[in-house]
């Protein structure tokens, strides 16, 4: 487990260290529970106190790092159901354990199911922003679980990666032939682990620990289909089962020298694999290059390779090829299309109506995608990069300012768009129009913002700014005075902006020629 290459992202991918931190607290909680459980017969009060402290403390501290630590009571339930089932316990101890799990596992699960049935949109509503449906996720995840198990048992670092959006979705039971066998296989494993829990408790533990670990992130919730870091703690089940097989179960089946040699080879191969995979992480460029090379059908990997070439190496021609590949693989992802359009050479843009692949870079097509499809993180990220490029005065980007404005307008007009995205678009569309000295358009944008959110003083300040650009200084000053006298005028950031705009008005007036009075 400590040497496994498949678990590397929880350490080297900084944001996923919350996974390893949560796992640390969950393991500490599990150990504390077991200490209490082993002392329950001799010291009941002390045992129950330690069991409760382990479960509650591990769950609370783990959940402070990552939400899936709420699974700790179920993990501990697996320990009790499998490995602890062979403990010699009095009827009094068994009764205490039963009440312990009724309180700490049964009641929370019951409350969760009641809430789910009363608020079904709690889960299904999240699929509105995903490129897959509820059914596709539920049918695909069993195949994902077998993929995880294959990587745990036979790790292949070239198959591993940060992104697995090249993993095909199952639209029904037969669209991909492995879908139904995968579902049946998971069900069979689950049934065998329950039936054999007393005969083969380690096998039961290995299976149930793994399945419980994936019961949140690989089930019905609208999360990404695959992420390797989700295996950090669940992988401990299968790996402990394999270790038990090598250390305890095989001595009677093979010569001791051969068994030790086999263990040494496995440890060496795991360490060597992990060392080689860690080399991918020596730099951001090396990591993303390896992702693009090992996952040619992953749009995210191809897109990020284009980003590196464009931003770090300033190689726009090379980045164009990767952006185009990402857009072809995912033609409804606005972020890939926006980045492709931003680097499309002017000479090629002239042929966008005749060459099919170039139609992906058409501003009108991108605007339609933004209006019709969910806007994800890639889309906002690409828009943000394009906006910053325009505001920095880059000539290449300034020539595409109207295209960017049309995409922002599409996000504003989106019928089921997020209010945060609409606010973001209004603010940045205004900034672009001011940068272009198109003050009337900027004023229209500010007016739209004020209509959508009349209580937000920022839109009033935007109106005043646009009026200054239009040389309607008196109107701007009246508006600024109104904002200053409102509650917003007492907010520091708004007060500072009011002061800046009033100084701009005074400066313009001081430079205007004094009218001649006869």
Stated as kind and residue range, the H or E segment containing 190 is helix 179-195
What pLDDT is attached to residue 92?
A: 65
Helix then strand then coil, % of the chain, to nearest 5: 75, 0, 25
Q: Which two tokens stand for residue 219?
A: 């089930």
Q: Which two tokens stand for residue 225?
A: 């289909």
Residues of the chain scoring pLDDT < 70? 86, 88-93, 346-357, 512-518
**Per-residue confidence (pLDDT) for residue 377, from 0 to 100:** 87
* Distance from C-alpha of 5 to C-alpha of 157, rounded to nearest angstrom: 7
| Domain limits, CATH 1.25.40, in the chain | 283-427, 437-512
CA dist 149 and 269 (Å) reads: 17
- Torsional sign, CA 281, 222, 421, 489: negative
Q: How far is CA 293 from CA 50, 115, 304, in A?
A: 50, 45, 12
What pLDDT does 83 receive? 86
Give the Cα separation of 325 and 148 in Å (integer): 27
pLDDT of residue 518: 33
Q: Are 163 and 302 in contact (CB under 8 A)?
A: no
Q: What is the pLDDT of residue 370?
A: 93
Ramachandran region, residue 452 (left: φ > 0; alpha: ψ -120 to 50; beta: rest): alpha
- Contact call for residues 157 and 277 (beta carbons, < 8 A): yes
Name every residue whose Cβ is closer than 8 Å to that of residue 456 and which is 6 or more positions away in sequence: 423, 449, 450
**Which pLDDT score is estimated for 84?**
81
Could you tell me how far CA 312 lies from the centroid of its own chain?
Answer: 24
H-state helical runs in 330-418: 334-343, 346-349, 363-372, 377-391, 395-398, 401-413
Burial class (CB in 10 A: 0-12, 13-18, 19+), 493: exposed
Please choose, from the candidates 489, 379, 380, the residue with its C-alpha nearest in 3D space to the C-alpha of residue 427. 380
Tokens found for residue 171:
């639209």
Angstrom distances, CA of residue 347 to CA of 294, 310, 472:
32, 19, 42
**Crossing angle for the helix pair 72-81 and 91-101, to the nearest 10 degrees:** 150
CATH (residue range 437-512) = 1.25.40
Q: What is the pTM (predicted TM-score) of this model?
A: 0.86
Question: N- to C-terminal Cα distance for the chain?
Answer: 93
- Give the integer Cα–Cα distance in Å for 56 and 26: 10
CATH of 283-427, one of 1.25.40, 3.90.930, 2.60.310, 1.10.10: 1.25.40
pLDDT score for 289? 94
Q: What is the pLDDT of residue 318?
A: 87
Residue by residue, DSSP assigns 48-101 as HHHHHHHHHHHHHHHHHH-GGGGGHHHHHHHHHHTGGGGS---HHHHHHHHHHH
What is the C-alpha separation between 76 and 101, in angstroms, rounded? 9
Burial (CB count within 10 angstroms: exposed 0-12, middle 13-18, buried 19+), residue 341 = buried
């Amino acid at each position: 487990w400590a040497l496994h290459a498949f678990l590397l992202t929880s350490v080297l991918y900084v944001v996923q260290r919350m996974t390893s931190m949560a796992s640390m607290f969950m393991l500490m909680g599990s150990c504390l529970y077991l200490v209490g459980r082993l002392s329950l017969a001799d010291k009941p009060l002390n045992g129950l106190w330690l069991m409760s402290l382990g479960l509650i403390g591990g769950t609370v501290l783990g959940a402070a790092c990552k939400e899936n630590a709420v699974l700790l009571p179920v993990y501990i339930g697996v320990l009790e159901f499998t490995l602890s089932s062979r403990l010699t316990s009095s009827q009094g101890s068994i009764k205490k354990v039963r009440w312990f799990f009724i309180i700490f596992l049964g009641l929370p699960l019951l409350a969760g199911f009641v809430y789910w049935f009363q608020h079904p949109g709690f889960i299904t509503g999240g699929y509105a922003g995903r490129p897959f449906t509820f059914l596709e996720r539920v049918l695909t995840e069993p195949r994902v679980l077998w993929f995880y198990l294959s990587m745990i048992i036979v790790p292949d670092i070239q198959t591993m990666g940060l992104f697995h959006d090249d993993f095909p979705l199952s639209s029904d039971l037969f669209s991909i032939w492995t879908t139904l066998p995968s579902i049946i296989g998971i069900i069979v494993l689950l049934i065998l682990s329950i039936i054999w829990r007393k005969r083969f408790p380690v096998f039961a533990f290995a299976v149930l620990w793994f399945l419980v670990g994936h019961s949140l992130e690989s089930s019905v919730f609208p999360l990404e289909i695959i992420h390797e870091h989700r295996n950090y703690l669940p992988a401990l089940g299968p790996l402990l089962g394999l270790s038990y097989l090598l250390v305890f179960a095989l001595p009677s089946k093979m010569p001791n020298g051969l068994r030790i040699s086999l263990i040494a080879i496995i440890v060496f191969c795991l360490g060597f694999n992990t060392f080689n995979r860690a080399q991918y992480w020596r730099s951001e460029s090396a990591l993303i290059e390896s992702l693009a090379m090992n996952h040619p059908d992953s749009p995210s990997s191809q897109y990020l390779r284009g980003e590196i070439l464009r931003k770090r190496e300033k190689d726009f021609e090379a980045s164009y090829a990767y952006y185009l590949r990402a857009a072809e693989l995912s033609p409804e992802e606005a972020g890939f299309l926006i980045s492709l359009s931003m680097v499309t050479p002017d000479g090629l843009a002239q042929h966008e109506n005749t060459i099919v692949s170039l139609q992906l870079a058409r501003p009108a097509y991108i605007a339609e995608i933004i209006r019709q499809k969910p806007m994800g993180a890639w889309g906002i990220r690409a828009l943000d990069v394009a906006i910053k490029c325009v505001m920095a005065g880059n000539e290449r980007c300034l020539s595409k300012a109207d295209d960017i404005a049309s995409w922002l307008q599409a996000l504003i007009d989106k019928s089921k768009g997020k209010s945060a995205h609409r606010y973001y678009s209004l603010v940045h569309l205004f900034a672009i129009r001011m940068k272009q000295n198109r003050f009337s358009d900027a004023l229209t944008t500010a007016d739209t913002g004020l209509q959508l959110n009349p209580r937000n003083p920022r839109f009033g300040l935007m109106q005043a700014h646009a009026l200054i650009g239009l040389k309607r200084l008196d109107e701007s000053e009246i508006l600024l005075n109104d904002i200053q006298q409102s509650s917003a005028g007492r907010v520091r950031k708004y007060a500072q902006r009011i002061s800046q705009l009033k100084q701009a008005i005074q400066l313009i007036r001081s430079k205007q020629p004094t009218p001649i009075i006869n």
